[in-house]
Amino acid sequence: MPAPRILILRAPGSNCDGETQFAFERAGGIAERAHINRLREQPALLHDYQVLVVPGGFTFGDDVGAGKILANQLVHFLGDALRQFRDAGKLILGVCNGFQALLKAGLILPPDDAGPLATLTFNTSARFEDRWIHLQAQGDKCPFLKGYERWEVPVAHGEGNFRCREGAILQKLEQNQQIVLRYVDSAGNVGPYPVNPNGSQGDVAGVCDATGRVLGLMPHPERHVLPTQHPQWTRRGLAPEGDGLRLFRNAVQFFQ
């Protein structure tokens, strides 16, 4: 089958779109970048792609909250098109600022009558966190995470603290297997800062929607695609590939 096409959505302040394109191309996909204004003008462009990615960065300067302005644009100008894209069995990925935008747009966890179910807010350290962390994948609901157990990638964010409106919501997400990534240490144990770099409730690092095909995560898999991107690669020896590459390969192989 032909290689799937991936659309990487740019907006003012995006800064990980190039790395994301590189990651998907290395995984065997055909990746293109497009500004959100282009998609607003022609929402039908989505029909030509199998994967939509909202990459990391600081869209619109995070002026009224991380990812909030981009989220509003997704809802008001592209809401129907994005829901049709998802319902057609395609994949959507949000990384860091993209996770913030997708979550606040209700594309991962649709709001109920009382409002949003969860948000991403300021790190409990009250500062920007830029460090390497370990992740533990959970369940088999999300196709992006097929074959993952424990892996290592960097985080770089100031508002990655995942918070549910009520404790019961987190429990329901657990029951539905929508909590798909947690922060752990090198032995696989959850723990306080810096193991959990932002204080997320339940050590949550990534969440998927009810279908499993819409994934949002705060860490940056596109920054550990090559083994030499890890700061300790010379001590550990050269690995075949970076830990993040599998996520992009999984998305490509989902359509092949």
Q: Which of 96, 142, 164, 208 is catalytic?
A: 96
Query: In the annotation, is 47 catalytic?
Result: no
Query: In the annotation, is 35 catalytic?
Result: no
Tokens of 174: 């657990």
Using one digit for the tens of pLDDT, what is the confidence trace for 151-190?
A: 999 999 999 999 999 999 999 999 999 999 999 999 999 9
Residue with the two structure tokens 């065997």: 28
CATH classification at residue 88: 3.40.50.880
Using one digit for the tens of pLDDT, what is the confidence trace for 39-82?
A: 999 999 999 999 999 999 999 999 999 999 999 999 999 999 99
State pTM to two decimals: 0.97
Q: Which of 142, 164, 208, 220 is catalytic?
A: 220
Q: What is the pLDDT of residue 256?
A: 85
> Strand runs (DSSP E) across the chain, as ranges?
5-10, 30-35, 51-54, 91-95, 118-121, 129-137, 150-157, 161-164, 179-184, 204-208, 214-217
Domain that holds residue 186: 5-253
Query: In the annotation, is 222 catalytic?
Result: yes
Q: Which of 19, 129, 159, 222 is catalytic?
A: 222
Looking at residue 60, its amino acid is: F
Domain count for the chain, please give it: 1
